[in-house]
Amino acid sequence: MRIVLVDDHEMVRQGLKSMLAPFRGRIRVVGEAVGADDAVRVVDGLDPDIVLCDLRLQGVSGLDLCRRLIEREPTRRVVLLSVYDDEQYVFQALRAGAAGYLLKKISGEELVRHLELVRQGERVVDTALAGRAIDSAARLASGEFWPGARQGLTHRESEVLALMVTGLSNRGIAARLVVGDETVKSHLRAIYRKLGVSDRTGAVAAALREGIFR
C-alpha cells in the first residue's frame, strides 16, 4: 500500500514514518508534502493508494485540501489525521469526501489496519470517536442538537456565533466565555470556513438566513 504524508511539521512526518517502519511488508511511504500546493503536485505525480493528511495545515485547512484533491481525481482516497477528538470534525471530514478520520494518538498497528480497510473501499473513523459520532448523528437526525450543528459547528462555535449575533466584540465574547482573545479568533476562523463566509457580517447574515438562531 503506497501512501503520501501531508503535514507541515517535519517532526510529525518523521514520527509517522518511524511508526510505520515495522510494517514495510504492508505499507510504504512513497512521498511527503508540507503545504496544499506541494501536496497537489506530489499526489498528482505519485498517484498513491492513500493520502494521509493533517486536519490543520499552515495557511489552509486539511478539509479544503481534501476537497481539492478529490475534485482533481474523484477516486482518490484521503484520510485525515488529527489531534481533535470532536465528532463534528468527523462529519466535516466525511462531507469533504474523506475516506477516514483518525486521531494522532493511534498506534502503528491500528493505523495500518484502518488504512488497509480504506484501500479496500471502506470509510473509517477512529474507534475513540466512532460511538460518539453515531450518537451525535442520531441526535442530529432527530433534531436534538445545538443551533448550528447541521452546519457542522461545534457546541463552542455555536456559542461564539450566538454572542456574535448579539453584537459582542471579540473581547466581549472572550470575557463572556472566559477564554483568551486568540481562542475566540480561532473559533471565528472555523465558523467562517464552515459557513462559507469571510467576515463577521457574513457570518451573522448566514446565521440569520439559515435560521440557526430563532
Q: What ranges do the domains of the chain cover? A: 2-133, 149-209
> What residues contact residue 53 under an 8 Å CB cut-off, 6+ apart?
6, 7, 39, 62, 65, 66, 78, 79, 80, 81
Q: With a threshold of 0.85, does the pTM exceed it?
A: no
Tens of pLDDT, residue by residue over 130-179, are: 655 555 554 555 555 677 777 878 888 888 998 888 888 999 999 888 88
CATH number for the domain whose boundaries are 2-133: 3.40.50.2300
Tens of pLDDT, residue by residue over 8-37, are: 999 999 999 999 999 999 999 999 999 889
Cell of 147: 443551533
Q: Give me the pLDDT at residue 147, please.
A: 75
CATH number for the domain whose boundaries are 149-209: 1.10.10.10
- Any bridge partners for residue 33, and if so which? 6
